């Protein structure tokens, strides 16, 4: 009898494709680029349960008031298998890991209370993705979760993309791409949120309806956060499913108007293999095109500010820097340079080389380059 059952099971597997597959969400199974999502055909590829219904094991808390992992952050609690965010201090829970090329799902519904300037406004939250440096709010893209606007996309910081019509959204603060469909549930009911993110593309779905898509994302990998912004909100059933292997060998240019433009055959920075390599930064004020008035201290500060602007465009900060090289026109300026340099970095400090050179472009006193890791 057991042999007959084994034969029937084997025959069934052959008929449906030889290998059993876990259930694939409908929006993935029917996606026009289904064949692109190669990991869906891997029988060992399973969803990662980000929220286990018990605690914040896979997350950390960050708030505007208390920073990261403060013992006072009691506004993010688990109740009956559901995450409940409450209180007037804006902040978020964020994944411990970075992600790229994934399907993400979560359920959301609104609580009762609103705070601060939200008392008379629509309740607000969001899923912010591909950020790398903590702050309120980080350089990133957002799946907007707001009453009446569920599915809009916000671009925060020095990020760029194009919308569904191919319209480019250049570097700026708080660019908004409005959804093209409404599908959210009435107040007090759960809404299913789904995202498909692959390469430099992202699609947003609400209750199974595609409501927005953005492309040519300048950030293709990073952490994911769930936002508290002056309104009580509930989240549950948060899972993520890998879609394809990450192309870590892909080289990507980083560019920003907040640092001096590249004027030769080079980029302001290149991202590759999880690292950002920033070109040497002269102390040119991008607003004036001139060196700041003063001497080595003022020029050191400007060079570091330029490097910081480039890192911000990559979704990073000076805290991500692992190596710097300082070029000095005169080694007698080392102590003054070092005094300013030390004010920008905290332990563990990046590795550093400091060398004197015969001359620097435009007669600069200093040039600083850096390498950062995501």
Q: What is the DSSP string of 269-317?
A: EEEETTEEEEEEE-S-BTTTTBPPSSSHHHHHHHHHHHHHHHHHHTT--
Model confidence band, residue 83 (pLDDT cutoffs 50, 70, 90): very high
Residues 201, 199: Cα–Cα separation, whole Å: 6
- Averaged pLDDT, 92-110: 97
Burial of 66 (0-12, 13-18, 19+ CB in 10 A): middle
**Confidence check: pLDDT of 73 > 80:** no
Q: What pLDDT sits at residue 15?
A: 40
pLDDT tens for each residue of 264-313? 888 999 988 789 999 999 999 999 999 999 999 999 999 999 999 999 99
Measured in whole angstroms, the distance separating CA 357 from the mean position of its chain's CA atoms is: 38
Of 307, 331, 327, nearest to 317 by C-alpha is 307
Report the number of secondary-structure helices (H) and strands (E) in the chain.
4, 24
**Full-model pTM:** 0.72
pLDDT tens for each residue of 163-208? 999 999 886 667 899 999 999 999 999 999 999 999 999 999 999 9
**Confidence check: pLDDT of 369 > 90:** yes
Query: For the chain, how many residues are written?
Result: 374
How many of the other CB atoms lie within 10 Å of CB of 324?
A: 22
- Map out the domains of the chain with their CATH numbers: 20-242 (2.60.120.560), 252-373 (3.30.1330.40)
Model confidence band, residue 249 (pLDDT cutoffs 50, 70, 90): low
Of 146, 143, 92, 142, nearest to 123 by C-alpha is 146
- Averaged pLDDT, 157-165: 90
């Amino acid at each position: 009898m057991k042999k007959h059952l084994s034969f029937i099971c084997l025959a069934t597997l052959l008929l449906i494709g030889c290998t059993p597959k876990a259930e694939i969400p409908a929006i993935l199974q029917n996606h026009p680029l289904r064949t692109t999502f190669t990991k869906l055909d891997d029988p060992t590829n399973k969803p990662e349960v980000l929220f286990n219904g018990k605690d914040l094991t896979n997350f950390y808390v960050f708030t505007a008031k208390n920073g990261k992992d403060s013992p006072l952050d009691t506004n993010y609690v688990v109740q009956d298998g559901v995450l409940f965010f409450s209180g007037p201090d804006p902040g978020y829970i964020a994944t411990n890991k970075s992600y790229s090329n994934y399907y993400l799902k979560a359920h959301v519904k609104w609580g009762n209370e609103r705070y601060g300037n939200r008392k008379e406004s629509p309740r607000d939250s969001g899923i912010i993705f591909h950020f790398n440096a903590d702050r309120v709010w980080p350089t990133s893209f957002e799946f907007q979760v707001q009453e009446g606007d569920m599915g809009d996309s916000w671009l925060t910081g020095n990020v760029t993309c194009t919308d569904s019509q191919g319209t480019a959204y250049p570097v700026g603060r708080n660019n908004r791409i409005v959804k093209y469909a409404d599908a959210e549930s009435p107040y007090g009911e759960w809404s299913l949120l789904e995202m498909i993110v692959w390469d430099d593309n992202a699609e947003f779905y609400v209750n199974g309806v595609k409501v927005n898509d953005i492309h040519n994302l300048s950030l293709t990998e990073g952490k994911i956060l769930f936002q508290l912004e002056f309104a009580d909100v509930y989240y549950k059933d948060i899972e993520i499913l890998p879609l394809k292997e990450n192309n870590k060998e892909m080289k990507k240019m980083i560019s920003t108007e907040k640092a001096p433009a590249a004027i030769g055959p080079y980029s302001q920075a290149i991202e590759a293999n999880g690292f950002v390599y920033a070109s040497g930064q002269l102390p040119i004020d991008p607003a004036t095109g001139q060196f700041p008035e003063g001497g080595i201290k003022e020029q050191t500060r400007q060079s570091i500010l330029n490097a910081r602007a480039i890192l911000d465009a990559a979704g990073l900060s000076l805290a991500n820097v692992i190596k710097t090289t300082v070029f000095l026109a005169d080694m007698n300026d080392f102590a003054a340079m070092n005094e300013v340099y030390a004010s920008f970095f905290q332990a563990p400090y990046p590795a550093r080389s400091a060398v004197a050179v015969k001359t620097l472009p435009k007669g600069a006193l200093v040039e600083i380059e850096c390498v950062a890791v995501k």
